[in-house]
Amino acid sequence: MKMSLLRYLPVLAVSLTVFAANAQTEVADSSAKELSTIKLWPGKAPGSEDWTFSEKVSVGPGGSKTYSNVVDPTLTVYLPDPEKATGAAIILCPGGAMRMLGFAETEQTAEWLNAKGIAAFILKYRLVPDQPISPAADRPAGRGRAPGGMMGMGGELSFREILSRNGNANPAPDNPDHLKVIQMAIADGQQAIRILRRDAAKYNINPERIGILGFSAGGGVAIGTAVTESEDGMPDFVATVYGPSLVDVKVPEDGAPLFVAVMDGHFNVTNGCMVLAALWKEANRPVEMHLYDHGNGAASGMPISSWTDRLYDWLQRRGMVTK
């Protein structure tokens, strides 16, 4: 069955709203507040020095922002009450099909994490801009943008197909612009980890308890951060919520423990997340996966809305949260 990414977007939007719904229930007692914004790179970010695009931002209901054309990646800081602080920190990667970053889910999750004593840092990573970044001659015929400016999704990939692609569920595996930006976003994720380890005392966090969690395409960025070798940019744990890998997966020998949450009816995403769990298990690295029944539709009362509870339980069992 052939489907474009445009047909996936309503499902993505509903699903991410549901995944965030449980986080909203605990933030009332949180003293969370936005502390500051950290610029990730001195000067221009490496690999995109020649970008001349202008960042765009739109404001939705409730004041939450959506970004596109990101050129200057940043971390937005949310710290818990010092009396509640556990020392754990999580970098949050918003979703948006590598074309935009919707901050609503990550803001709600940051507040929920703060209520649990966990520091949160929202990563505004680089994206595929709304104009080509490679000359037309360098782009394969038939690849690139689908109607409406979105990347072509192509047909549904099976578990076996994604497994044969080394866990890579990228829907546009031959698009050079997409591939360049995915690597830039991963570099942004690893730079965020370096900064937090360097400045751990400043944020009252433990440099050995820094993880990364992503939603949708942000989950792909989080996974890429965990499987792309780096001496000092690897997370201590990684979590993906409705986001498969967008790069080939080779689980490091000492790969970070993995947490996965996804619903069962989401095409390449579900299959990609199942492959991720299988590859982590094959590598004999810790993995926990929650595959939720899609049921008759997405609603906050469905079991899927409990993903935050399952994540917190997992963090406690892994020793990442000690209070």
Neighbours of 118 (CB within 10 A): 27
Residue 135, CA distances (Å) to 132, 138, 176, 277 in order? 7, 5, 10, 38
Q: What is the pLDDT of residue 295?
A: 58
Reported pTM: 0.85
239-256 core/surface letters (b: 16 or more CB in 10 A; e: else): bbbbbbbbbebebeeebb
pLDDT digits (tens, 9 = 90+) for 88-138: 999 999 999 999 999 999 999 999 999 999 999 999 999 999 877 765 545
Rounded (10°) angle between helices 5-24 and 307-317: 70
Question: Tokens representing 198?
Answer: 């360097």
312: number of Cβ within 10 Å: 17
Between CA 233 and CA 95 the distance in angstroms is 21
Q: Look at residues 272, 292, 266, 174 and name the one whose alpha carbon lies nearest to residue 223.
A: 272
Helix (H, G, I), strand (E, B) or coil at 64: coil
Q: In what order do the strands lie in the sheet with 119-124?
A: 33-39, 74-79, 119-124, 89-93, 210-215, 237-241, 258-263, 287-292
| Class for the domain spanning 5-317 | alpha beta
Per-residue model confidence (pLDDT) at position 172: 82
Domain boundaries, given as residue ranges, for the chain: 5-317
Measured in residues, the chain has a length of 323
Listing from the earlier edge strand, what are the strands of the sheet with 65-68? 56-59, 65-68, 101-102
Q: What is the chain's pLDDT, residue by residue, as a tens digit (323 residues)?
A: 333 333 333 334 434 444 444 444 444 343 445 469 999 999 999 999 999 889 999 998 888 899 999 999 999 999 999 999 999 999 999 999 999 999 999 999 999 999 999 999 999 999 999 877 765 545 444 433 332 222 334 457 899 999 999 999 998 888 888 999 999 999 999 999 999 999 999 999 999 999 999 999 999 999 999 999 998 999 999 999 999 999 999 999 999 999 999 998 877 899 999 999 999 999 999 999 999 987 544 444 555 678 999 999 999 999 999 86
Q: What is the pLDDT of residue 201?
A: 97
What pLDDT does residue 35 have? 60
Q: What is the C-alpha separation between 267 and 245, in angstroms, rounded?
A: 14
For the record, the structure tokens of 7 come out as: 């047909």
The pLDDT value given to residue 155: 57
pLDDT at site 15? 44
- The tens digit of pLDDT for each residue in 181-193 reads 999 999 999 999 9
Instruction: Give the model's pLDDT for residue 10.
Output: 35
